[in-house]
Structure 1
Amino acid sequence: MSADDSPDLPLQDKPCAQCGAAAEQRCGRCLSVYYCSRDHQKEHWKAHRLDCKPYRIETTEDRGRYLVANGDLPMGHLVISEEPILTGPSYTTSALCLGCFDSVDGSYRCKGCNWPLCNRKCETAGSHQLECAMLKTTDIDITDFVGPNTSYQFITPLRCLLLKSRDPARWKLISGMESHTEDQTREYRMEMGRNVVRVIRQTLGMDEFSEHEIMKVCGILTVNAFELFTTGPNKDRDSTPRAWAVYPTTYLMNHDCLANTLTSIDSKNKMHVRTRMPVKKGEALTAEYSECLWGTEIRRHQLHRYKYFWCSCQRCRDPTELGSFISSHRCTNCGGNVVATKPLDFNSTGFRCESCRVIIRGEVLKGTNHQVEEEVFELESKELETPIEEYEDLVERHESILHPNHYAMLRCKKFLAHAYGRQPGYSLAELSEDRLNKKMEMCRTLIDTLEIVSPRFNDDTAHFLYELHAALVEVARRRHDLGLISNQEMVVALTEAKHILHQALKHLYPWNDGDLRDLEAESKAKKSLEALDGWIELVENSKPNKQLENTKPTKPVENTKPTKPVENTKDSKPAEQDKPKQEKQQHTAKKSKGKRKRKGGKGK
C-alpha cells in the first residue's frame, strides 16, 4: 500500500501530489490527494481534475456496478453534484406542464400542439420543443386535470428516444443503464405496450424504433429515474412526485433501507448527494429507494417489483427492524411483540412472541396484514374525501392486535397527526382535549420511530416535531386562559415548544443546495420561533394570572416531556399562534418510495 492509500499516516507524512514533499493540506473535494501548499494544489489541478471525486465505481458479480467511498468521508460531505441528462413526466402523473412540470388547468395551451402548459415561457422551453411538432400530428386532447393521466406515459420515453439522433452523447449515457427488460412483468409490458409502444410506433408513426428498444427505454426509466417533487393541483409542494429526472452518476448508488447518503434535488433539478453519516474508505455509498415507514415484506416486494432486486440489508434481516417493530403484531396470549423468525423468507410460517415465546401461524398474521393494508390503501385513495373519523375508526379497531408502530397504524397516525389542526372543523382551537392529546401522542410515536429507521436530516421528523410544538402551545394556551396554570408555567410550556422547534430546524437539510420544500419549512419554523419569543415576553411582563390567586399550584402542562434529541419541518404550516388561513389537507398514497422522498432507481 502506498502512502497515498494509507488512511493511518498523519497528514505531514503524506506526499504532495505535485512535488512529493511532506503535505500540509489535502483536496477538500475528494479527500484523497495531498499537497504541500495551495500553489502546488493549483498547479496540479489540471492533472487531478478528472479524478477529483470522493467516490469510485466498482463492479462485482452480485452487485453489478456501484459507488464506494474513495476516502474517509465526514458527515455532510458533498459526494455528487450533477445536472440531469433527461427530465419528463412520470408514468403516474396527473396533468402537468411539459415545460416546468407544474400543475395545469387547461387555461393556457401550446399554440403548436395544443397540449396544456403554464405560459409562453414553457411553450418555448427546449424540453418541450423536442416533442411539440410530433404531438401536433396527434388527436390526443388533455381534458382530465385531476387524477393520474395515462396520456402522459409516452412523453418521457419519447424524449429519451429522440436523444439517439439529436444528442448521441446523452443517449449513450442513458442506453448504457440497466433496464431489466427480461424481468418485466406481463402486467407492466401490457401497460407500457398500450400507452407507450403503440402511441410512439402507431399514433406518432415512429416505427424506426422497435418495440424492444422502446420497452428497454421504459425499463431504464423505471429502474434509474429519480422523482421530482413539483406543485400539485392545490399548489401544495408536498404532493405526489409527478416528474422524473435521470442523472449520469447518482443512479449507480446501491440501495440500503438505512442509507448512508442523502439525495436532494434543488429547484433547478440539480442533484446533490451528501453523506448522512461518516463513511469509511471503501464502504459502499448507498441511497434509500423505498418508503421507510413500510414493513419489511412490503419494502422488499416494492423494490423487487420496480427495481428488480431483493433487499437483504441489516434492517430487512432484523426481525424487530432495528427495534422499530414496524411489522410487529400484539401477542393475543400476553400482549408482547410478535416478530417473524425468518424475515427474509415470505413463505416461512414462523412468527414468535418475544415475551412468552408462543409460536403463531404465519398465514394468520399475513392475512391480517393484507386486510389492513387494503383498508389503508382504500382510505388513502379517497384523498380529500376521507373524513378523519374513518382513520380514527381503523386505528381503534386494530390497536389491540397490531403493535402501535405497525406500518398500517403509522400510515393512519401520519395522516391524523397532520389532519388534526388543519382540516376544516378540526383547527387546533376546535380540537377536543382528547384529540389534542392524541395528536401529541401520535407525533411522538412517529418522531421516535423515524429516528430509528431514518435518523438525521429527515423532513418527516421535522414536520411532526413542528406539529407537536403546535399542539403543546394550544394545550398551554387553553390552560392559561382558564387560569389552570400560572404565567411562569405558561413560559415553561412555551419554552419547551421553542426547544422542539429548534429540534425541527436541526432535522432540516442544513446545506444551501436543498430544495424549496426545506427552505419554505425553515422560514415558517423561524417565524413560529419569533412568535413564541414575542408571546413569552408578553407573558413574562404581564400581571400574575388572577384566576390562580389564592389557589394551590397545579400540575405542569400535560404532555410536555422533552422528545429525544433528534437532528433535520416538512412543508409545514405555521402553528396556531401564527393565525394562518385554514388549508385543506391533501393526502396522496405514494406508490413505492420514500426517505427524503427524493429518490430514484438503481442501475448497473
Structure 2
Amino acid sequence: MGDKCAECGEPAELKCSACKLVSYCGKEHQKKDWKNHKAVCRPFEILEDPVLGKCLVATRDIKPGDIVMAEYPLVYGPRPHMVEEGPVPCPGCCRLIIAEGSPRCEGCDFPICHPGCEGLRDMDRHGHECMILGLRDVKAINGLHDFYRQDALLTLRCLLLQNRHPKKFEQIMGMMEHMDRRGKNTEVYKDIDSRIADYLIDNFFAPMKILEGRTGKQALHDISRETIHKICGVIDVNGLEVNMDAEVSALYPTAYLMEHNCLPNTTHIFDKNGYKITVKAALPINTGEHISTMYTHCLWGTQARREHLRETKYFDCKCVRCSDPTELGSYLSALKCIGTDDEPCGGTQLPLDPTNDETQWTCDKCPVKLTNAEVSYLVNGIGEEVDNVQLSNPTVRELESLLNKMLTFLHPNHYHVYSVKHSLIQLYGRWTLRRSYLANIRCVQAV
C-alpha cells in the first residue's frame, strides 16, 4: 500500500525533503500543509532500540552545520551547588548572588538578585512556586542552610507542571529515571530522601495540606515521595547543564533522547533568552545513523568519562574512543613511565584494555606495569591537587611549578596537563596586558 497525502488522503509520491516522514499528492497540498507540518518537521525520527531504548535516527543525510533541532525546555531551574556557604541562585533568574545581605522575595523570603527581577513575577518560573515556598516556618529553619537546596527548587517546578502544563508533566514522567539503580537501599536514594523529599514534604507540602483542608481546594494532585524520587531521577539522568549568565539545569522535550558518544556527531548552543537549545550536525550524519551528543567533558580522559557515565547515567561506555588505549592518537590519558632502578626510560604507559576496570597499564619501552587501581589513585590525586591550586587564585609561578611536577608522571597531552596549561595561557594574557598598561603609564609620566 502506497503513502497517502497528509492534506487530502489521496495516494502520494512526493515526500517532505527535510524529514522524509510525510507525503503529498503535489506541491500545492505540501504548501497548504506547511503551517501544520513545520512544527514537527525534523530530519530524524524517534525509534525504540532494544539496548538503548528511545533514540533519534536520521531520516535523511544531514550535512555538518545543518540544524537538527531547536526547542525550548519543558522546565528549568537553578543547578544545585552542593555547598553550605557561598553564592546561591536567585529563584527568579537563576543568577548567582550572595544570600547574606541580599534583598528577599516579598512572598517567600528567599534571597533574590533585585526586587525588579522579571522572573519573580513569571508564573512559570518563580510566581507559582513562591506561594508554596512562602508556607514554610522560617523560624524552624537553621540559618541560611535553607537556601542551598537549589535542586529542590527544580523538583518543585516539575511538580507544579501537573496543574499548569499537564502535557509537559506527562512528558517528564515518561522520561527514563533508572529507579532500578536508585532503589531504597542505595546511597543516592537515601541522599535524595533526606535532602529533597523530606525537605519538600516537611517544610512545604505538610502546611500546604493543612491549608487545602481549610479551603477545600487541592493545589497539587501528586506530591508523593515516590513521584519526588522519580522526578529527581529524571533530572539526574536527562537534565542538560546550561552555563551562561546563570548556572541552570533544564529538561528538553526531544534533545534528551540524543544518545551519548565520546565522538558525538552534533554540537549545540543555548540562547540565554529562555534557554532555547539549537542542535547542529558537527559531522556528516547519514540516513539511518543515530544522532548523538556527549554527556561528559570532551577533554576528560577515558577513566574519568567512563566513571562519570557509570555513576550518573548508569551505563559503561565502550565507544571507539573509549576502546582505543591512545584515545585515537590524542594520548589524553597516557602516563609517562618512570622506568626501573630510578632511571626514567622515556616510554609511555597505556592501558591494555581501557574498557576493563581490571586492566594493566604497560610501558612501550620497558617491562614496568601498573594496575588500573594504581593509575586511578595517581591520576585522582593529581586531579585533586590541580583543583585545589586552581581554586586558590594561583600565580604564574605556582602553576608553572605544578606543571613541571605533573610532567614527571603524565604525558604532555594528558588532560590534567591541558587544564593547567589553559589556566597559564589566561594568566600570561593578563600578565602581558598588565605589563603593556604599566609601560604606557610610564610613557605618559615621562612626557
In structure 1, distance between residues paired with 2:106 and 2:22: 54
In structure 2, distance between residues paired with 1:378 and 1:33: 56
Kindly indicate whether the alpha-carbon contact (under 8 Å) linking 1:31 and 1:72 is maintained by their aligned counterparts in 2. Answer: no
Of 284, 289, 294, 1:283 maps to 289
In structure 1, distance between residues paired with 2:354 and 2:173: 36
1:142–1:125 CA distance, 2 compared to 1 (3 A): farther
1:418–1:257 CA distance, 2 compared to 1 (3 A): same
The alignment partner of 2:97 has SS state of: coil
1:110 aligns with 2:119: no
Of 45, 48, 66, 2:34 maps to 45
1:229–1:51 CA distance, 2 compared to 1 (3 A): closer
Kindly indicate whether the alpha-carbon contact (under 8 Å) linking 2:73 and 2:276 is maintained by their aligned counterparts in 1. Answer: yes
1:172 aligns with 2:166: no
Shift of 1:37: 7.5
The alignment partner of 1:108 has SS state of: coil
Q: Which amino acid aligns with 1:245?
A: A
Aligned to 2:115: 119
1:261 aligns with 2:270: no
The alignment partner of 2:89 has SS state of: coil
In structure 2, distance between residues paired with 1:322 and 1:299: 15
Of 143, 148, 151, 1:150 maps to 148
1:249 aligns with 2:226: no
In structure 2, distance between residues paired with 1:154 and 1:2: 51
The alignment partner of 2:109 has SS state of: coil
Once the two structures are superposed, what CA deviation does each residue of 1:53-86 show, in whole Å capped at 9, x if it has no partner? 2111111221111101111111111111111110
Q: Which amino acid aligns with 1:213?
A: T
Q: Which amino acid aligns with 2:428?
A: Y
Shift of 1:97: 1.6
In structure 1, distance between residues paired with 2:142 and 2:130: 14
TM alignment of 1:18-29, pairs within 5 A: 27=16, 29=18
Q: Which amino acid aligns with 1:266?
A: D
The alignment partner of 1:173 has SS state of: helix
1:64 aligns with 2:53: yes
Aligned to 1:99: 92
Once the two structures are superposed, what CA deviation does each residue of 1:329-354 show, in whole Å capped at 9, x if it has no partner? 11334313221110001112x22233
Kindly indicate whether the alpha-carbon contact (under 8 Å) linking 2:2 and 2:12 is maintained by their aligned counterparts in 1. Answer: no
The alignment partner of 2:280 has SS state of: strand
Shift of 1:49: 4.9
Alpha-carbon RMSD across the aligned residues, in angstroms, is 3.2
Shift of 1:132: 0.6
Once the two structures are superposed, what CA deviation does each residue of 1:22-51 show, in whole Å capped at 9, x if it has no partner? x7xx74642666889754530353675576
Aligned to 1:201: 201
The alignment partner of 1:244 has SS state of: strand
Kindly indicate whether the alpha-carbon contact (under 8 Å) linking 1:18 and 1:41 is maintained by their aligned counterparts in 2. Answer: no
Aligned to 1:219: 233
Kindly indicate whether the alpha-carbon contact (under 8 Å) linking 2:262 and 2:319 is maintained by their aligned counterparts in 1. Answer: yes
Kindly indicate whether the alpha-carbon contact (under 8 Å) linking 2:45 and 2:56 is maintained by their aligned counterparts in 1. Answer: yes
Aligned to 2:243: 229
TM alignment of 1:244-393, pairs within 5 A: 244-268=249-273, 269-333=275-339, 334-348=345-359, 350-354=360-364, 356=365, 358-362=367-371, 363-380=373-390, 382-383=391-392, 385-393=393-401
Once the two structures are superposed, what CA deviation does each residue of 1:104-123 show, in whole Å capped at 9, x if it has no partner? 34543211112122333332
In structure 2, distance between residues paired with 1:2 and 1:323: 49
Q: Which moved more, 1:73-82 or 1:358-367?
A: 358-367
Structure 2 unmatched runs, 5+: 210-221, 340-344, 441-447
In structure 2, distance between residues paired with 1:63 and 1:113: 42
1:88–1:51 CA distance, 2 compared to 1 (3 A): closer
Shift of 1:201: 0.8
Aligned to 1:573: none
Q: Which amino acid aligns with 1:178?
A: M
Shift of 1:402: 1.1
In structure 2, distance between residues paired with 1:112 and 1:379: 41
Q: TM-score, normalised by structure 2?
A: 0.80
In structure 2, distance between residues paired with 1:298 and 1:2: 50
TM alignment of 1:81-100, pairs within 5 A: 81-92=70-81, 94-100=87-93
In structure 2, distance between residues paired with 1:177 and 1:158: 17
Aligned to 1:507: none
Q: Which amino acid aligns with 1:411?
A: S
